[in-house]
Structure 1
Amino acid sequence: MKLFGSYTSPYVRHCRIVLALQQQPYQFIMTDQQASGQHSPTYRVPFLQHNEQTFYDSASIVRYLREQAGQAFCQDAADYDLFCMVNTALDTTINLFLLERDGLTAEHSAYLQRQQQRIEAILALLNQRTWSLPEQPEQLSDGLLRLACYLSWAQFRQQIDILHYPNLQQFLLALNGQPWFANTHPALS
């Protein structure tokens, strides 16, 4: 099994965490933007090769890994909704981050302002919940794992101020204390 990606990608991190919790052996192949464009039609990471199959999206990779281990991907419709909502915030935050690197910011674009508002609305909604962790890390749902990877990445890249979202901050602090989560932090790469 070969996982192609970067250590800083929150999508790749989710896959790495699932593999680690399953104690699944795999080869990690560091892949930059140029290589991802040459090997993936999506021009992004992660992608996974295993037994003559290739998967080009983190959601399909996580689902495949879960199926291989006899586990559920997104335990129910509510968890899948959380997964999708976090993906929306994550995709939007990454796009704004990359556009800002190119000098395009929300202050000059009504469309980008709307994207920033989307992120803030999702975070505000998610902050209304009180988050708790299951006793065993293997019981953490994919919606919660995606949320944790997003929050950690967005804080690492200084794209959100987690202090504005105390319930999300407590959730992230609890996970940062878990070795299996902390050991995949993007700052460690």
Structure 2
Amino acid sequence: MKLIGSLTSPYVRKARIVLAEKHVGYTFELDVPWNDDSQVPDYNPLGKVPVLIMDDGTSVFDSRVIVEYLDSVNPVSRLIPDGNRRRIAVKRWEALADGICDAAAAIFLERKRSKTQQSGQWISRQQKKVEGGLEAAARELGDRKWCDGNAYSLADIALGCALGYLAFRFPEIKWRENFPNLAELSDRLEKRPAFMETAPQD
């Protein structure tokens, strides 16, 4: 298998971490979809990363679809529980974490536009989503070690990638000070080999 993606995307990082945690062999092809010579649209008509290329050439895109497929490939270290209630809880965490990333990425892209083209109202709206997402994550995590209780799961991977992206792109957001339990979870996750090997970089 081959994974196509960038070194900054939290969605690509999520897929890479799942591949590592599941011990699935693959090759990583670096491709930034914003570049004029990007080949990403050849594999994903939406022009987004990550894209997983199967051995038969079939492309799988959207990080949520990719990680769900990968969790079924190898029974070792299941990251999405089998029970419907716990499964939905973990996928809900993933949706929350991805939503934080969506809003943060929207801010990042808006700020790349010229000052005269930027919309302060749009940025403010996305900032509220990030703040709301962090507040919800901290409240629901509480004093638990992991998002799903006592077991490490996709929920932790997704939230860890979101927090890592904020630390990377938005150091001005003081989520560590405001939400100590999220900081503790992030510190615990960033010590795992899969997280250390996929730290975002320009």
Partner SS for 1:186: coil
The structural deviation recorded for 1:84 is: 0.8
Cα distance in 2 for partners of 1:131, 1:90 equals: 23
Cα distance in 2 for partners of 1:100, 1:12 equals: 22
Corresponding position: 1:79 with 2:86: no
Identify, as 1 or 2, the structure richer in helix: 1
4+ runs deviating over 4 angstroms = none
Match of 1:161 among 174, 183, 202: 174
Question: Are the equivalent residues in 2 in contact too, given 1:153–1:186 (CA < 8 A)?
Answer: yes
The equivalent of 2:10 in structure 1 is 10
Cα distance in 1 for partners of 2:200, 2:97 equals: 18
The equivalent of 2:121 in structure 1 is 110
The structural deviation recorded for 1:145 is: 0.6
The equivalent of 1:56 in structure 2 is 61
Q: How many residues align?
A: 183
Cα distance in 2 for partners of 1:72, 1:179 equals: 16
Partner SS for 2:25: coil
Bigger drift between 92-101 and 33-42 goes to 33-42
Match of 1:46 among 2, 27, 50: 50
Q: Percent identity?
A: 29
Question: Are the equivalent residues in 2 in contact too, given 1:12–1:46 (CA < 8 A)?
Answer: yes
Q: Which blocks of at least 5 consecutive residues in structure 1 are unaligned?
A: none
Partner SS for 1:122: helix
Match of 2:133 among 119, 122, 125: 122
Cα distance in 2 for partners of 1:50, 1:66 equals: 15
Query: Structure 2 length normalisation: TM-score?
Result: 0.81
Query: Structure 1 length normalisation: TM-score?
Result: 0.86
Call closer, same or farther: CA 1:126–1:72 in 2, change over 3 Å.
Answer: closer
The structural deviation recorded for 1:21 is: 1.4
The equivalent of 2:158 in structure 1 is 146
Q: Which blocks of at least 5 consecutive residues in structure 2 are unaligned?
A: none
The structural deviation recorded for 1:37 is: 3.2
The equivalent of 2:109 in structure 1 is 98
Give deviations 1:42-89, integer Å, cap 9, x for gaps. 211100111332111111110111111134636522111111111111
RMSD of aligned alpha carbons: 2.3
The equivalent of 1:132 in structure 2 is 145
